[in-house]
Amino acid sequence: PPDQSPPDPSKKTLVILGTGWGSVSLLKKLDTENYNVIVVSPRNYFLFTPLLPSCTTGLIEHRSIMEPIRNILRHKKAGVTFYEAEATKIDYEKRVVYISDDSEIKGDISHTEVPFDMLVIGVGAENATFGIPGVRENSCFLKEVGDAQNIRKRIMDCIETACFKDQTEEEVKRLLHMVVVGGGPTGVEFAGELQDFFNDDLKKWIPEIKDNFQITLVEALPNVLPMFSKQLIDYTESTFKEEAITIRAKTMVKEVTDKHIRAEVTNPDGSKAIETIPYGLLVWATGNAVRSVVRDLMNQLPAQAESRRGLLVNEYLVVNGTENVWAVGDCAIANYAPTAQVAGQEGAFLGRLFNTMAKSEALEKELENLSDAQSAAKGDEARNQILDEIRERQKQLRRNKQIGPFQYSHQGSLAYIGKERAVADISWLSGNIASGGTMTYLFWRSAYLSMCFSTRNRVLVCVDWVKARLFGRDVSRE
Ligand code: FAD
Ligand code: NAD
């Protein structure tokens, strides 16, 4: 089908913001023939985030976990329009989204507006910094492809700079100190991947760094991975100890400069002290914050006044205080953790809901036509025949309208912790299985491989794993 087909005036215009887990799962399920579908996202690809930490060390090449949105859309039954742009403002009263092309190359028009009848917001979240001074200027985040590339480049830059002629010992130590702030799954997985990189490749290729390379994970709470069971937290902490990754728990970062972090440490006796920790690379992984376009919409809606962390939605994912606006994934607050699992299920639910809504509308239209035909029909037999058809359609309509609210089904939590070990809290029947170790790691690998978007992604990821095993990771700094 043509990509930019003109809108059909008999259909509603459905605008979908974002090409992440929520929006793409919706697109996969959606029968695009029912609506004029427009997708707006600054990213013209879907990103398989669970394997993003592996891109920071070059274990996996970033293109292996990207799927072009154009490839997804071209397989849909009816044409879908895609604009590579950022939604800068949603005007709910006017039912319009303002969009802006923020890419390097701009045409004569780079700002415009897109009217909608129905809107799905799946723009994800921003990196939380809690307004801590110096974080944005000095640290790397780990959310997008560009972040992973940036980290990969900086790891090698720190190492090569540490190896510079006559570098002082103190400076070598600082440059080779890799600090990760945030002991959630992002921070833990990154620390594990980085230590693997050091053990598998860096130590062999650049032996002169081996005594000074050090990874520290800084966490404000008493332990890492708070969403996992106690047994797996202990397992992760003991694995990190074996790997020589230092965990600094009860340590809250308060300020960041270009070479140091300043943190408030809670001592075992409860007293507090400020500590200055030098770093070469700083990766900031302290969770999610609300995007400005979402915050602006929240300010337009009195029903959102109480919300701080994102758009409050009802059990059908309708944004509270609106009609015909839905939110999915990290930007929606529906009492679930902000994970790909939740976003994916929410998107798929909306896909089914919209298909059902379109079917109901078609049935209602048919019923209207049938009742007109019934009034115009001559003779009892013809009228009764139409009446039978009306009853049948009414039955179908009732059945169709019975779609229940969104229900999340938790499949479990999985995280890689390095040293070919993973931790998993898996929901099994009505219970829970907690497991950690090498078998869990093999399960982690196969689970993520099967979840990859396409066969192409699966093959590329496998090839990357084999390549790294055969030749080691590539340590050249691009
Ligand atoms: P995203 O997937 O972030 O997508 C948001 C989309 O909106 C993007 O396409 C973005 O470009 C677009 N966008 C942004 N701003 C705008 C705008 N103004 N206008 C239009 N579009 C916009 N979860 C798990 O369940 N398991 C895991 O193993 C896991 N691992 C992770 C590893 C890492 C490193 C990270 C960062 C996250 C991980 N997560 C994992 C969490 C998971 O990635 C998120 O919960 C999930 O991506 C949320 O989906 P989403 O659709 O809401 O947002
Ligand atoms: P998170 O919110 O899970 O964890 C952030 C951590 O940073 C918290 O433990 C918090 O106490 C700590 N923190 C906050 N401010 C701090 C400070 N100033 N100093 C020190 N520590 C501080 O964030 P995340 O790991 O980025 O994950 C975000 C979401 O993505 C979560 O819902 C997570 O479940 C999901 N995710 C899942 C996986 C997985 O399932 N394997 C992987 C990555 C992310």
Q: Whose CA is nearest to atom 23 of ligand 2?
A: 287
Q: Whose CA is nearest to atom 2 of ligand 1?
A: 20
* Residue in 31, 122, 39, 148 with CA at minimum distance from that of residue 344: 122
* pLDDT class of 4 with cuts at 50, 70, 90: low
User: What value does the mean pLDDT take over residues 62-75?
Assistant: 95
For residue 431, what are its two tokens? 């219970």
Are the C-beta atoms of residues 326 and 318 closer than 8 Å to each other? yes
Amino acid of residue 70: R
Residue 428 has pLDDT above 90, yes or no: no
Residue 77 has pLDDT above 50, yes or no: yes
Instruction: Identify the pLDDT of residue 1.
Output: 43
Q: What is the 8-class DSSP label of residue 405?
A: P
> Any alpha helices (H) in 322-421, and if so which ranges?
340-376, 380-400
Distance, in Å, from the CA atom of 419 to the CA atom of 415, rounded to the nearest integer, reads 12
Q: Is 222 in the pocket of ligand 2 (CB under 6 A)?
A: no
Distance, in Å, from the CA atom of 93 to the CA atom of 300, rounded to the nearest integer, reads 9
- Which pLDDT tens digit goes with each residue over 300-328? 999 999 999 999 999 999 999 999 999 99
Q: Which residues line ligand 1 (CB under 6 A)?
A: 17-23, 40-43, 49-50, 52-53, 86-87, 122-124, 142-143, 186, 291, 293, 329-331, 338-341, 343
For residue 329, the SS3 value is: helix
For residue 30, what are its two tokens? 């959606």
pTM over 0.90: yes
E-assigned strands of 186-305?
A: 214-218, 245-248, 251-256, 260-266, 272-278, 281-284, 288-289
Are the C-beta atoms of residues 154 and 281 closer than 8 Å to each other? yes
User: What value does the mean pLDDT take over residues 134-148?
Assistant: 98
Of all residues in the chain, what percent are helix, strand and coil, respectively (each to 5)?
Answer: 40, 25, 35
Instruction: Identify the pLDDT of residue 445.
Output: 93
Is the dihedral angle over the CA atoms 290, 293, 299, 302 positive or is it negative? negative
Instruction: Identify the pLDDT of residue 434.
Output: 86
> Any alpha helices (H) in 377-437, and if so which ranges?
380-400
Ordered DSSP codes for 287-304: -EE--HHHHHHHHH-GGG
Distance, in Å, from the CA atom of 141 to the CA atom of 97, rounded to the nearest integer, reads 28
What radius of gyration do the chain's Cα atoms show?
26
Instruction: Give the H or E element holding residue 177.
Output: strand 177-181
Name the least confident of 258-267, 292-301, 367-376: 367-376
Q: What is the residue-averaged pLDDT of the chain? A: 95
* pLDDT class of 176 with cuts at 50, 70, 90: very high
- CA–centroid distance, 236 to ligand 2, in Å, is 15
Distance, in Å, from the CA atom of 383 to the CA atom of 374, rounded to the nearest integer, reads 5
* Residue in 433, 390, 384 with CA at minimum distance from that of residue 411: 433
Tally: H helices and E strands in the chain: 14, 24
Residue tagged 């600082």 (tokens): 174
Q: Is 287 in the pocket of ligand 2 (CB under 6 A)?
A: yes
Residue 132 has pLDDT above 50, yes or no: yes
* pLDDT class of 7 with cuts at 50, 70, 90: confident
Instruction: Give the H or E element holding residue 32.
Output: none
Q: Whose CA is nearest to atom 31 of ligand 2?
A: 338
Instruction: Give the H or E element holding residue 71.
Output: helix 69-73
User: What value does the mean pLDDT take over residues 383-408?
Assistant: 91
Adjacent-strand bridge partners of 333: 312
User: What value does the mean pLDDT take over residues 416-430?
Assistant: 88
Pocket test for ligand 2, best of 140, 286, 336 (most atoms within 8 A of CB): 286
Instruction: Identify the pLDDT of residue 5.
Output: 59
* ipTM value greater than 0.95: yes
Q: Whose CA is nearest to atom 9 of ligand 1?
A: 19
Distance, in Å, from the CA atom of 337 to the CA atom of 118, rounded to the nearest integer, reads 26
* pLDDT class of 431 with cuts at 50, 70, 90: confident
For residue 8, what are its two tokens? 């059909």
Phi/psi of residue 64, nearest 5 degrees: -70, -20
Distance, in Å, from the CA atom of 423 to the CA atom of 417, rounded to the nearest integer, reads 7
- CA–centroid distance, 17 to ligand 2, in Å, is 24
Q: Whose CA is nearest to atom 37 of ligand 1?
A: 49
- Which pLDDT tens digit goes with each residue over 25-60? 999 999 999 999 999 999 999 999 999 999 999 999
Reading phi first (left if > 0) and then psi (alpha if -120 to 50, else beta), residue 259 is in alpha
- Which pLDDT tens digit goes with each residue over 210-257? 999 999 999 999 999 998 999 999 999 999 999 999 999 999 999 999
Name the least confident of 8-17, 34-43, 419-428: 419-428
Q: Is 120 in the pocket of ligand 2 (CB under 6 A)?
A: no
Neighbours of 251 (CB within 10 A): 21
Q: Is 53 in the pocket of ligand 2 (CB under 6 A)?
A: no
Residue 396 has pLDDT above 70, yes or no: yes
Residue 382 has pLDDT above 50, yes or no: yes
- Which pLDDT tens digit goes with each residue over 333-371? 988 999 999 999 999 999 999 999 999 999 999 999 999
Q: Whose CA is nearest to atom 28 of ligand 1?
A: 50
CA 227, 231, 235, 238: dihedral to nearest 10 degrees? 110
Residue 195 has pLDDT above 90, yes or no: yes
